[in-house]
């Protein structure tokens, strides 16, 4: 009998060794470590990684867990700190700030949504700060931290957290893990790509004369998209009309002040600056719109804001907000910057790498590459990108600022229909149009809407069936319990130093 050729994909080739390349290598490597499937990653010593991308959101911890990486070892190796959310300064108006926390806000009562109850009480003279009911916001405000899973059944149990990490150290750590899983690494530059007659990618030609053939290719080559765009000409949908920022200038500084457990995002004349505290240094950047600000001015704005000695020369990074017309095209999946980029305001890019990989695994093909899998995958990942886009546009379009041409533009610009519909629904009902799988849960939308001064006309009339005094007492005791519990927690920096001190910082000080 002639053996039939296996239809399983036998060789994956990953092009690129930035955060997305090594995340892909870890995920595929951990799945196929005991199988005959080969995974090869090619990275160039001559083409640098983007080197930024240092704030994450809570699902990143699931990624670490899913590939068997110890969170503590990762934090130590990447000089990470903990992140409980983002503090937004000057977005609604100058001198105003608000917090977008991770995790729960308040508790539903008898099946009634907490936010609806809070709205009802505010209108009936029992107002409280929404953030007083968020364990993560109260912890962040007091610079305290403990992983909430260490305090189950406590008033802070519903908090969630993520990491601030050093992107370069993170890629190095994941590289070691992936190689342990059996991933082959080649250091070389791809100089040519050969396709089969049908158009699928057949092999990559390297500058060291090696030829690497594969069944399936994962393009993690950064903005250029060497495979997805330069080879397969997939096309790109630009979202610049809704998100005008198209450049960033970044600089690293020595840690001079206490590392807070949150990212700071401050609105500037033509965009916003970030401050991300790590254990051994601080990452700073200014994301701006080139139509309203040139590179020199942006660099001056950034440098005027940073504290402490600078550790490198400010670097300008141009980008185009949007997404590929197809993220999976033929036998090629694009990941990370090769797939698309929605600006980094809510630190979603690394998450989208994880989500793309997770969805690809849910729609995993064989050599036939059944287009029905591809279509379903494409619908779902597209929805993810669009949800992130809408949530980020929300921060801009609800501003009351008109003190610069940039902010006047943001106030008046057109917004996506899906966001328009969301805003109208919220303004009229106090409720949201969310799918069960939405990345940004209702708490996130409520935090930003409240912070940006967007208030609904009403709330769910169902809550009128509840006794106002009892509700007020319940909310007040809930907020008190959070506040009291937080006073007993360790200081964020002290927790980091005691539980997971940076290996990089220790070796630097030796
Ligand atoms: C200003 C800015 C701020 C950001 N902030 C955040 C944030 O806070 N949080 C977040 O989640 N994300 C953030 N991101 C996004 C994040 O940086 C990226 O998603 C992440 O780093 C992944 O990058 P990448 O691996 O796709 O690409 P890159 O880092 O660009 O890596 C590309 C790789 O491809 C290789 N390569 C390219 N061409 C070739 C070739 N011909 N041959 C061989 N190898 C090749 C390179 O050597 C490199 O290894 C930010 C991005 C920007 C621009």
263 vs 241: CA distance, rounded Å: 26
Can you tell me which residue has the tokens 């709330």?
A: 459
Instruction: Classify residue 211 as exposed, middle or buried by CB count within 10 Å of its CB (0-12, 13-18, 19+).
Output: exposed
With a cut of 70, say whether residue 71 has pLDDT above it: yes
Q: What is the pLDDT of residue 4?
A: 74
Q: Which residues contact 474 (CB under 8 A, 6 or more apart)?
A: 109
Give the E-state strand segments of 58-105 in sequence order. Answer: 81-83, 85-89, 97-101
Q: What is the pLDDT of residue 2?
A: 64
Minimal CA–CA distance to 268: which of 282, 245, 286, 253?
Answer: 286
To test the pocket of ligand 1, the residue of 336, 340, 351, 392 to mutate (highest count of ligand atoms within 8 Å of its CB) is: 336
Q: Which residues contact 508 (CB under 8 A, 6 or more apart)?
A: 280
pLDDT digits (tens, 9 = 90+) for 109-160: 989 999 999 999 999 999 899 999 999 999 999 999 999 999 999 999 999 9
CB-CB contact of 405 with 292 (8 Å): yes
With a cut of 70, say whether residue 446 has pLDDT above it: yes
Q: Where do the domains of the chain lie? A: 11-80+165-239+322-385, 102-158+390-492, 247-318
Q: Ligand 1 centre from 349 Cα, in Å?
A: 9
**What is the end-to-end Cα distance of the chain in Å, rounded?**
67
Minimal CA–CA distance to 107: which of 149, 142, 153?
Answer: 153
To test the pocket of ligand 1, the residue of 18, 272, 347, 392 to mutate (highest count of ligand atoms within 8 Å of its CB) is: 18
Q: Ligand 1 centre from 423 Cα, in Å?
A: 33
263 lines ligand 1 (CB under 6 A): no
Structure tokens at 5: 């050729």
Q: What is the pLDDT of residue 313?
A: 97
- Please give the CATH number for the structural domain made up of 11-80+165-239+322-385: 3.50.50.60
Chain-wide mean pLDDT for the chain?
96
Q: Ligand 1 centre from 336 Cα, in Å?
A: 7
DSSP lists the bridge partners of residue 251 as: 284
To test the pocket of ligand 1, the residue of 27, 52, 228, 318 to mutate (highest count of ligand atoms within 8 Å of its CB) is: 52
380 vs 364: CA distance, rounded Å: 14
189 lines ligand 1 (CB under 6 A): yes
With a cut of 60, say whether residue 322 has pLDDT above it: yes
Q: What is the pLDDT of residue 1?
A: 61
205 lines ligand 1 (CB under 6 A): no
Q: What is the pLDDT of residue 510?
A: 38
Structure tokens at 451: 């912070």
Q: Ligand 1 centre from 473 Cα, in Å?
A: 50
Give the 3-state secondary structure percentages of the chain, helix then strand then coil, rounded to 5.
Answer: 40, 20, 40
Q: What is the pLDDT of residue 19?
A: 97
To test the pocket of ligand 1, the residue of 349, 353, 354 to mutate (highest count of ligand atoms within 8 Å of its CB) is: 349
With a cut of 90, say whether residue 420 has pLDDT above it: yes
CB-CB contact of 393 with 416 (8 Å): yes
337 lines ligand 1 (CB under 6 A): yes
CA 358 vs. chain centroid, Å, equals 15
Residue 88 φ then ψ, to 5°? -100, 120
Can you tell me which residue has the tokens 């009802």?
A: 120
Q: What is the mean pLDDT of residues 221-249?
A: 98
Q: What is the pLDDT of residue 200?
A: 98
Q: Ligand 1 centre from 175 Cα, in Å?
A: 15
104 lines ligand 1 (CB under 6 A): no
273 lines ligand 1 (CB under 6 A): no
Q: Ligand 1 centre from 56 Cα, in Å?
A: 14
Q: What is the mean pLDDT of residues 42-48?
A: 97
Q: What is the pLDDT of residue 505?
A: 57
What b/e readout covers 84-96, taking b as 16+ CB neighbours within 10 angstroms?
A: bbbbbbbbbeeeb
With a cut of 50, say whether residue 435 has pLDDT above it: yes
- Percent of the chain topping pLDDT 70: 98
DSSP 446-477: HHHHHHTT---S---GGGGGS-HHHHHHHHHH
CB-CB contact of 245 with 321 (8 Å): yes
Q: What is the pLDDT of residue 76?
A: 97
With a cut of 70, say whether residue 219 has pLDDT above it: yes
Q: Ligand 1 centre from 167 Cα, in Å?
A: 9
With a cut of 60, say whether residue 364 has pLDDT above it: yes
Q: What is the pLDDT of residue 508?
A: 45
55 lines ligand 1 (CB under 6 A): yes
Split at pLDDT 50, 70, 90, the class of 279 is: very high
pLDDT digits (tens, 9 = 90+) for 73-100: 999 999 999 999 999 999 999 999 999 9
Half-sphere exposure of 254 (CA within 13 A, CB side): 6
Q: What is the pLDDT of residue 436?
A: 78
Q: Ligand 1 centre from 289 Cα, in Å?
A: 20
Q: What is the pLDDT of residue 438?
A: 86
42 lines ligand 1 (CB under 6 A): yes
Instruction: Classify residue 192 as exposed, middle or buried by CB count within 10 Å of its CB (0-12, 13-18, 19+).
Output: exposed
How far, in Å, are 177, 281, 473 from residue 508 at the CA level? Answer: 23, 11, 52
Using DSSP, state whether 448 is helix, strand or coil.
helix
pLDDT digits (tens, 9 = 90+) for 491-510: 999 999 999 999 865 554 33
350 lines ligand 1 (CB under 6 A): yes
Question: Which atom of ligand 1 is found nearest the CA of 45?
Answer: 47
pLDDT digits (tens, 9 = 90+) for 329-353: 999 999 999 999 999 999 999 999 9
Please say whether the dihedral angle defined by the alpha carbons of residues 158, 275, 439 and 94, taken in this order, is positive or negative.
Answer: positive
Question: Which atom of ligand 1 is found nearest the CA of 18?
Answer: 25
Q: What is the mean pLDDT of residues 457-461?
A: 97
385 vs 420: CA distance, rounded Å: 17
Segment holding 195, helix H or strand E? strand 190-195
CB-CB contact of 255 with 264 (8 Å): no
246 lines ligand 1 (CB under 6 A): no
pLDDT digits (tens, 9 = 90+) for 170-191: 999 999 999 999 999 999 999 9
Q: What is the mean pLDDT of residues 399-406?
A: 98
Q: What is the mean pLDDT of residues 43-64?
A: 95
Split at pLDDT 50, 70, 90, the class of 3 is: low
């Amino acid at each position: 009998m002639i053996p039939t050729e296996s239809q399983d994909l036998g060789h994956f080739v990953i092009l690129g060794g930035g955060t997305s390349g090594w995340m892909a290598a870890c995920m595929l490597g951990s799945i196929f470590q005991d199988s005959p499937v080969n995974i090869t990653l090619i990275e160039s010593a001559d083409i640098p990684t983007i080197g930024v991308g240092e704030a994450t959101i809570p699902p990143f911890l699931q990624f670490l867990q899913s590939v068997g990486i110890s969170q503590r070892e990762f934090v130590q190796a990447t000089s990470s700190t903990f992140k409980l959310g983002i503090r937004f300064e000057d977005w609604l108006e100058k001198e105003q700030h608000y917090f977008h926390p991770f995790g729960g806000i308040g508790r539903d009562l008898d099946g009634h949504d907490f936010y609806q109850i809070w709205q009802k009480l505010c209108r009936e003279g029992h107002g409280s700060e929404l953030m007083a009911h968020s364990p993560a916001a109260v912890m962040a405000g007091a610079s305290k931290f403990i992983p909430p899973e260490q305090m189950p059944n406590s008033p802070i149990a519903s908090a969630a957290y993520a990491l601030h990490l050093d992107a370069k150290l993170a890629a190095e750590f994941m590289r070691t893990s992936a190689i342990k899983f059996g991933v082959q690494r080649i250091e070389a530059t791809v100089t040519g790509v050969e396709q089969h007659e049908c158009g699928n990618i057949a092999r990559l030609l390297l500058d060291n004369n090696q030829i690497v053939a594969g069944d399936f290719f994962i393009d993690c080559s950064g903005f250029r998209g060497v495979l997805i765009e330069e080879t397969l000409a997939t096309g790109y949908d630009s979202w610049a009309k809704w998100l005008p920022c198209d450049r960033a200038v970044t600089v690293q500084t020595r840690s001079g002040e206490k590392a807070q457990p949150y990212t700071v995002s401050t609105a500037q004349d033509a965009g916003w600056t970030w401050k991300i505290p790590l254990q051994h240094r601080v990452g700073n950047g200014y994301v701006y719109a080139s139509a309203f600000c040139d590179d020199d001015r942006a660099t001056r704005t950034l440098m005027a804001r940073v504290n402490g000695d600078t550790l490198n020369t400010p670097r300008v990074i141009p980008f185009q907000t949007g997404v590929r017309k197809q993220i999976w095209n033929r036998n090629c999946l694009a990941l990370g910057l090769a797939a698309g980029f929605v600006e980094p305001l809510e630190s979603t890019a690394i998450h989208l790498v994880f989500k793309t990989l997770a969805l690809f695994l849910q729609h995993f093909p064989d050599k036939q590459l059944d287009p029905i899998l591809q279509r379903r995958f494409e619908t779902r990942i597209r929805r993810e990108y669009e949800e992130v886009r809408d949530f980020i546009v929300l921060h801009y379009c609800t501003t009351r600022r008109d003190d610069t041409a940039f902010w006047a533009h943001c106030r008046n610009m057109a917004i996506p229909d899906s966001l328009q519909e969301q805003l109208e629904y919220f303004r009229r009902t106090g409720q949201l149009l969310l799918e069960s799988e939405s990345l940004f849960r209702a708490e996130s939308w409520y935090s930003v809407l409240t912070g940006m001064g967007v208030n609904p006309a009403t709330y769910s009339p169902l809550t009128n069936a509840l006794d106002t005094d009892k509700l007020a007492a319940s909310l007040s005791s809930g907020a008190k319990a959070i506040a009291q519990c937080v006073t007993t927690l360790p200081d964020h920096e002290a927790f980091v130093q005691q539980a997971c001190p940076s290996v990089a910082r220790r070796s630097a000080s030796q």
